Chain A
């Protein structure tokens, strides 16, 4: 009798588990996962020399996120053309985003993952959704997980609900929304910040509907995004206004700063941008005042402490760490940002592998039952109940 009941319970729990796995979007709750890593996808979609500024935009962002702590292997950089070693470039192997030429964006250690003809809508979608051919190397894949914060930056020429790639194809707002939805369902991100610097950038976000997505665009519908200034030595405009002021904001920050996203959003002055920056925050659950910009533009890494080297990983010791933990600022940041301590406490007690709440409660019930003393009487009551139900149902059916 006892065995019978237990096996039934196991069967039911298995069923519930299957149920959980079958509809992940239902059971999945973003609050239960930790923010474990940061990724950045930086895309310059324009070809040809006169679009120098788009590449400079993207490389500026690349430099910024690298400076704020995202390592190269977690940055997917897509550049649609070669500007640095272009025959028209007076400064070979150098790209500047300011006419003072103080900062060479190309540096000595730039890692371009997709370039030239490879920057297509297809490859872009493949990177986002993770559907690659098997031969594609790891450095070209976005290997994010459900604890990832992803920064997606795109720049190029756009219009009402589309963004041009290489002057030959378009990414539509529906495509973007579908890709993001698919990413959400595949648990490829926890939070996603989409930053777009094109004309009518706001229209690109109109179809988004996945939770955890935050979007910033450089201009509203019907507005153009303008370049900031022309470098007469290089011969073309070198940076766009939106990106220029974004960079101006980030130049003041370092890895340990607590500046919030709202302060970034408020830093855009429509008169200087000559367009209205647009924010879409309705899909994003948290208060922007509480979220530091380093949540997307910086990086956290999970370090696992082990007692001895070369042991199997044990989840108990996993702890979130900010790189280069320098005592003061780190503590300050932990206290101020609301999410980190909450995640710290919430994570390590419960079993990490079972994320489905239904299974968790069921497991708890099972545990309680196991603790009970009068198992026999319970079983007897249960049998009587079953008998009653059976007789009742047969009586009704007849």
Chain B
């Protein structure tokens, strides 16, 4: 108990060759802190921002993942702990379980999304709207009522998300295994998923709290640089050789000094191990060298460093072969002697990964912009060995949980659910053990489907179809690239009754978190594809065009109508005439009248051009009057 009262940080890296000439690298970092009640609030290793997050929003458990690329279940495996917990849907996935009263969960969720968006430089705050998250009842994780789940399938993942994630580590990316994370190398990969998983029992009043645990993993699938040496041996291509420096462009210069353990593992899957044994037997049959399990120096491959330990999987009774882990301790290396693990193949090997019981995929059916259907297909994997694990007795059944969230503008009609098994339509309720539906509400909440399926063990294919209508969004609600289509988040298919875990012989190993992660018993989970639904998009310039054209037509119509109605031709002519008459002015007309009287000739209106002489007259008269006035004034004054 006394030793647990300290903060701990461990780091680990697991490397695994994949059958399709690629390499899986899985970084695992774990920080833990004892509960505040006994340990206080000052931390040496644990990131403060995460601690504040937990305390402010009372998070009991949370998982946030940023993923780009799609996990290839067929080639990279679907039945091992890494694929079950680290194969994530593209974009951002966030779920959190809160320790607050039921009516405050939504508010906490909203604030949490904003805080995370600030922390990780991502638009996680789009998950605050009730249309984008859901509250699964039982299928996703078994937390009643206080769990919220949301995904952003189109969120970009890049350096700006990885850097704050690395800043949570005590050594950042400056020392230890995280120093390998060269951004261009990681983002050049076929798949990368960074995950942050938090568990805390800070708010449990119960006796033995374990405090807060922060688990950070980065899973990358990389293509070793094989330009030039695509070597062929006896007609088959060799698997590419790789080393840490060729994968990441960097080497490990010692461990992060505050981490408790810093190990690198190379894992060979059971299928690969059995393949290796076969190849070795065929090669060495004549020389008669004893084949031992812990081989690491052999004619098939070569590891550049000698492993500090070889760990074997145990506890898998069904199988005769089990996976092998080579352990390397980074603490023995330093700047002058950097750690650069390499794997070189000498003979070609071909193997395949262990598959999930059924391969899940999802696709769209139908055409046109009005309606369509979603189909979830479960296809039996090519090798049927795996199924026998769960179907040991005759007549037992496969249990499958499906959890699917569909945005409101894809209006799914759940009554149209059809189940086809091996191509034949089944009566629906026969195979469905339990179902929970919450239909979508326009602009309020998404449609959620949770379903527990029961399928016979001998099933080859099972297909579920659901029909839907495509809704209309308000013109303001379309994103700027609406023509690209809209994403329906991945469905989660979990095979309850199948557990992916690797047990190890040594109990001592339980102390190492990265191996703990492999040992943890979890359901086999796979995510389906993200669906891209094209919706009817309006012509976004249409309102503008309509307004302009309508206004023009109206203006022309009303303008000409008013003109026609109001115009009086006779009146206008009269008005023009009177204007012409008026132009001469009252004084000049009076003057002309006066002059006419003086001359004795009859009054006649002078023509318009002759106004100028009369104008001169007028000025003259004013001058005369002015002079006369002045004279009169002078006379009066001098008198």
Beta-carbon contact of B118 and A140 below 8 Å: yes
Q: How far is the CA of A107 from the CA of B184 in the complex (A)?
A: 10
Which of A93, A111, A137 counts the most chain B CB atoms within 10 A?
Answer: A93
**A93 and B114 in contact (CB under 8 A), knowing A111-B121, A112-B121, A117-B123?**
no
Q: How far is the CA of A48 from the CA of B479 in the complex (A)?
A: 13
Q: How far is the CA of A117 from the CA of B155 in the complex (A)?
A: 9
Beta-carbon contact of A84 and B480 below 8 Å: no
Tell me if B157 counts as interface (CB < 8 A to partner A).
yes
**A137 and B157 in contact (CB under 8 A), knowing A91-B184, A92-B184, A93-B183?**
no
Mask, A279-319, CB within 8 Å of B = 1, is 00000000000000000000000000000000000000000
**A135 and B121 in contact (CB under 8 A), knowing A84-B158, A84-B159, A167-B480?**
no
Among the listed A106, A107, A116, which residue makes an inter-chain contact with B156, where contact means beta carbons less than 8 Å apart? A116
- Find chain A residues with CB under 8 A from B188 CB: 92
- Find chain B residues with CB under 8 A from A91 CB: 184
Tell me if A85 counts as interface (CB < 8 A to partner B).
yes
Cβ of A60 to closest chain B Cβ, rounded Å: 16
Majority secondary structure of chain B interface residues (helix, strand, loop or mixed): helix
Which of B119, B156, B157, B186 counts the most chain A CB atoms within 10 A?
Answer: B156
Cβ of B95 to closest chain A Cβ, rounded Å: 19
**A110 and B163 in contact (CB under 8 A), knowing A115-B121, A115-B156, A117-B126?**
yes
Beta-carbon contact of B114 and A82 below 8 Å: no
Beta-carbon contact of B159 and A135 below 8 Å: no
Mask, B152-190, CB within 8 Å of A = 1, is 000111111001100000000100000000011011100
Tell me if A94 counts as interface (CB < 8 A to partner B).
yes
Beta-carbon contact of B480 and A137 below 8 Å: no
Mask, A61-77, CB within 8 Å of B = 1, is 00000000000000000
Tell me if A371 counts as interface (CB < 8 A to partner B).
no
Mask, B351-387, CB within 8 Å of A = 1, is 0000000000000000000000000000000000000
Cβ of B167 to closest chain A Cβ, rounded Å: 9
- Find chain B residues with CB under 8 A from A82 CB: 156, 158
Among the listed A94, A133, A168, which residue makes an inter-chain contact with B480, where contact means beta carbons less than 8 Å apart? A168
**A116 and B123 in contact (CB under 8 A), knowing A47-B480, A92-B188, A135-B110?**
yes
- Find chain A residues with CB under 8 A from B506 CB: none
Tell me if B111 counts as interface (CB < 8 A to partner A).
yes
Beta-carbon contact of B123 and A115 below 8 Å: yes
Which of B111, B157, B158, B164 counts the most chain A CB atoms within 10 A?
Answer: B158
Q: How far is the CA of A140 from the CA of B117 in the complex (A)?
A: 9
Tell me if B430 counts as interface (CB < 8 A to partner A).
no
Q: Which residue of A lies closest to B155 (CB)?
A: A116
Tell me if B349 counts as interface (CB < 8 A to partner A).
no
Among the listed B155, B163, B479, B481, which residue makes an inter-chain contact with A109, where contact means beta carbons less than 8 Å apart? B163
- Find chain B residues with CB under 8 A from A135 CB: 110-111, 114-115, 125, 128
Among the listed B119, B126, B479, B540, which residue makes an inter-chain contact with A137, where contact means beta carbons less than 8 Å apart? B119
Q: Which residue of B lies closest to A117 (CB)?
A: B479
Q: How far is the CA of A206 from the CA of B481 in the complex (A)?
A: 31
Beta-carbon contact of A108 and B173 below 8 Å: yes
Tell me if A166 counts as interface (CB < 8 A to partner B).
yes
- Find chain A residues with CB under 8 A from B540 CB: 168
Mask, B117-135, CB within 8 Å of A = 1, is 1110111011010000000
Among the listed A47, A108, A166, which residue makes an inter-chain contact with B183, where contact means beta carbons less than 8 Å apart? A108
Q: How far is the CA of A133 from the CA of B111 in the complex (A)?
A: 10
Cβ of B583 to closest chain A Cβ, rounded Å: 44
Q: Which residue of B lies closest to A116 (CB)?
A: B123
Q: Which residue of B lies closest to A114 (CB)?
A: B123
Q: How far is the CA of A94 from the CA of B158 in the complex (A)?
A: 10
Q: Which residue of A lies closest to B113 (CB)?
A: A135
Q: How far is the CA of A113 from the CA of B158 in the complex (A)?
A: 13
Which of A48, A135, A139, A167 counts the most chain B CB atoms within 10 A?
Answer: A135
Tell me if B68 counts as interface (CB < 8 A to partner A).
yes
Q: Which of A183-240 contact B (CB under 8 A)?
A: none
Q: How far is the CA of A70 from the CA of B159 in the complex (A)?
A: 20
- Find chain A residues with CB under 8 A from B480 CB: 47, 117, 166-168
Of all A-B residue pairs in the complex, the 4 with the closest CB atoms, nearest first, are: A137-B118, A82-B156, A85-B158, A92-B187
Query: Could you show 7 A-B contacts with beta carbons less than 8 Å apart?
Result: A82-B156, A85-B68, A92-B187, A108-B163, A115-B123, A118-B125, A136-B118
Sample of 7 further A-B pairs with CB below 8 A, known A93-B159, A107-B159: A85-B157, A110-B163, A111-B163, A115-B156, A118-B126, A135-B128, A168-B480
Residues of chain B at the chain A interface (Cβ within 8 Å): 68, 110-111, 114-115, 117-119, 121-123, 125-126, 128, 155-160, 163-164, 173, 183-184, 186-188, 478-481, 540
